[in-house]
Structures are given as structure tokens and as C-alpha cells.
Amino acid sequence: MRILVVEDDADLADAVTRHLRRDGHAVDWEHDGESADDILGYQQYDLVLLDIGLPNMSGFDILRRLRSRGHATPVMMLTARSEVEDRVDALDVGADDYLPKPFDFREFDARCRALLRRAQGLASNVTTVGRLVFDRAARSARIGDEELHLPNREFRLLEILIGRLGKAISKEQISAQLFDFDDEAGMNAIELYVGRLRRKLGSAITIRTIRGFGYMAEAGDGSA
Ligand code: CA
């Protein structure tokens, strides 16, 4: 998934960014309020992690402007302040959740998962498609009793594809969710990952190529 981290504390931003990348997410980092507001005007994200006190524009103003443009992007505010008012304001302005700093990464992960899941319209971390059982919390994918070995990018690509089961998704959309601005990987990398996923998924999930557009995943025929 594509995540924007807006945080002016470089050490914290670095820790959060590394942590999310290790988990296979595409992550962009902005330390300045105005730049963050700018980037949110043209780039779609699956999740925004937003500090409140920022240079040039506050997290509250960034969020207010994002919502006024009609964007429902999930936003979690990161706040150093413990005041009840800040937390109430965050939710009132349109944040989906908030996390007081400093935080434990286990709680951070669980909250991010919940927001990403909700954005995809999923009630649970576990999605079952035919014989495939995909578990976001356990970070595992199984076909029957067989655990699939999926490196981060393949795991996230499968997550994107089964999040839109039976619907076509363009290569551009996949690329925007899978790679951040620093990533050199291009469209060819997507073909490579799809090829690997197809081999691993066998007949459990079919990933159709839609010529000149992208892909569509469907539950397979169920045979071995
Ligand atoms: Ca700050």
C-alpha cells in the first residue's frame, strides 16, 4: 500500500518509514506542512500519517484542506500532545484515528492495518478466496495447508489484487500503490511480480491479463 508520512522529526520519520518499508509498503516522507498539502493535491494514498505541529502548515490545516477537496483517504494523526482537546480536534477535523507519541510499533502496526483494511471495506484481517487464506495480521498466505513464501512486494501485490477481486485494476494503479517516488522499479517489475504470483498461486487464484490495461484477479477453479 502507498503511505505518506508527514512528520518534521527526522529521527521518528526515519524509524516509521523504515518500519513500513520493511513491511513491503511504498512510503513517501514529507517534513514540511505546505509540501505535504501540495503532494496530497495530486498523489493518492492508501493511508496518511500526520503530525500536528509542522513547519509552514499545521497537520489540522492539511487535514481540513484534504477533506474539503472531498478525499476520504484514511488519516491517522500522530500527536506529541496529550491534551484531550487535540485528540477531539483531530477527530472533528476528519482524522480516522490518532496515536500519541511516543508509541509502541505493535500498536502502530495494528492501527495502520485497521485503517488500511477499512479503506478496502474489509471487516477482518483474514480474507478467504476459494482455497486461499490471506492473513494481514499474521502476514501469511496459505493454500490449503501449504504456506506460500511471498517476499514483501509479492505479498502487497496479492493484497492489492484480492482487495479488488473480480474488478480490473490498471498497471498504473498497481504501480502507485506498490512503489514510492524513490523507487526505480517500473511497470516491468509488476509483470515480473505477477508472473511469480501466478506460479505460486497455481489454480487457487487466477490473475488475468487485461491487454493494454492491467490485471484482474478471480477465485480459481478450486482444483489442485
Ligand atoms: Ca512536529
Q: What is the CATH number of the domain that holds 211?
A: 1.10.10.10
Nearest to 120 by CA among 161, 151, 180, 76: 161
Cα 111 to ligand 1 centre (Å): 20
Interval between CA 10 and ligand 1 midpoint (Å)? 10
Q: What are phi and psi of 153, to 5 degrees?
A: -65, -40
Domain that residue 171 falls in = 126-219
Direct distance between the N- and C-terminal alpha carbons of the chain, in angstroms, rounded to an integer: 30
Count of domains observed in the chain: 2
Report the alpha-carbon distance of residue 206 to residue 119 in Å, rounded. 24
Nearest to 156 by CA among 103, 181, 120: 120
Q: Measure 1 CA to ligand 1 centroid, in angstroms.
A: 24
Centre of ligand 1 to C-alpha 82, Å, is 14
Give the largest CA-CA distance in the chain.
Answer: 58
| CA of 81 relative to ligand 1 center, distance in Å | 10
Q: Quick one: pLDDT at residue 108?
A: 97
For 135, the enclosing helix (H) or strand (E) is strand 132-135
Measured in Å, residue 98 CA sits from the centre of ligand 1 at 14
Contact in structure between 193 and 203 (CB atoms under 8 Å): no
Residues 94 and 136 in one domain: no
The whole-angstrom separation of Cα 21 and Cα 27 is: 6
* DSSP letter assigned to residue 3: E
pLDDT of residue 221: 67
- Provide the H-helix boundaries in 69-215: 84-93, 105-119, 152-162, 171-178, 187-201
**224 in a structural domain:** no
Whether residue 176 sits in one domain with residue 100: no
Ligand 1 centroid – CA 214 distance (Å): 40
The answer on 101 and 189 residing in a single domain is no
Segment (H or E) for 181:
none
Q: Are residues 139 and 56 in the same domain?
A: no
Determine the distance separating the centroid of ligand 1 and the alpha carbon of 59, expressed in angstroms: 9
Contacts of 206 (CB under 8 A, 6+ apart): 217, 218, 219, 220, 221
User: Ligand 1 centroid to 201 CA: how many Å?
Assistant: 44
Give the SS3 label for residue 118.
helix
Q: Which pLDDT score is estimated for 119?
A: 84
| Residue 81: Cβ within 10 Å count | 12
* Same domain membership, residue 150 and residue 106: no
Nearest CA to 111 out of 11, 3, 9, 29 is that of 3
**90 CA to middle of ligand 1, Å?**
15
pLDDT of residue 224: 46
Distance 9 CA to ligand 1 centre (A): 6
pLDDT value of residue 50: 97
Q: Do residue 81 and residue 39 come from a single domain?
A: yes
Rounded Cα distance, 203 and 43, in Å: 35
Q: What is the pTM of this model?
A: 0.87
Cβ count near 127 (within 10 Å): 19
Q: Which of the residues in the chain have pLDDT under 50? A: 224
